[in-house]
Amino acid sequence: MARAAVRRQGEALSVEQVADKVADAERRERETRQHLDSPASERGPYDVDPEDLAEQWVGRHAEWRRIAALMDAQGWPAYSPERDVQGSTWARERDAQRKGALARRAAWEKERQDARDELKAQVWLSADVSRRLRAIAARTGLEPEQVLAQLADQVRMDDDGTLTVDTFTPR
């Protein structure tokens, strides 16, 4: 995240402006480290996670230094994210990770929705009914649960509320 933020903020900045950003990031990194050492009681109730903030500034400081060194080595008068090969590679990798995470999240949400739509039931049958169900399942090559599921698919409710099932063959 720090790299992406720095790439966005750094576009078209001059060498001097990048040097200012390096100094600012160094100061912020130092301040957030000091904030980490302060007791929790001194922090406000709306403060962000101080460890997370400190890590962000460590990352930003490192990225601003990398960009400053790159600009110096390449002799660039201004930073251009498109010309930054390493930064562009990292950006593509981050986009791929983000897309993968979004796809996994969508699959997980669909799985949860499907699970909510499913009905799992335990059915206690008398010995006689249970034997008949097992016999039907054995003849059709299905599990007893599959026969019951197909039976439930065939049920319809009449206007008077009675349940009926037309003759059907389990498949």
Read off the pLDDT band of 41 (50, 70, 90): low
Supply φ then ψ for residue 72, to 5 degrees: -65, -45
Indicate the pTM of the whole model: 0.62
Give 115-131 pLDDT, tens digit per residue. Answer: 888 888 888 999 999 99
17 and 25 Cβ atoms separated by less than 8 Å: no
Q: Which residues contact 88 (CB under 8 A, 6 or more apart)?
A: 81, 82
Distance CA 91, CA 88 (A): 5
Read off the pLDDT band of 47 (50, 70, 90): low
pLDDT at 57 over 60: yes
Supply φ then ψ for residue 165, to 5 degrees: -135, 125
In this structure, what DSSP letter does residue 79 have? -
Distance CA 33, CA 152 (A): 63
Q: Which residue has the higher pLDDT, 40 or 49?
A: 49
Structural element, H or E, at residue 164: strand 163-165
Give me 130's structure tokens.
């249970």
pLDDT at 119 (0 to 100): 80
H-type alpha helices, the chain: 2-10, 15-37, 50-74, 85-117, 127-140, 144-154
Give 62-97 pLDDT, tens digit per residue. Answer: 999 999 999 999 999 999 999 999 999 999 999 999
Give me 39's structure tokens.
């007791």
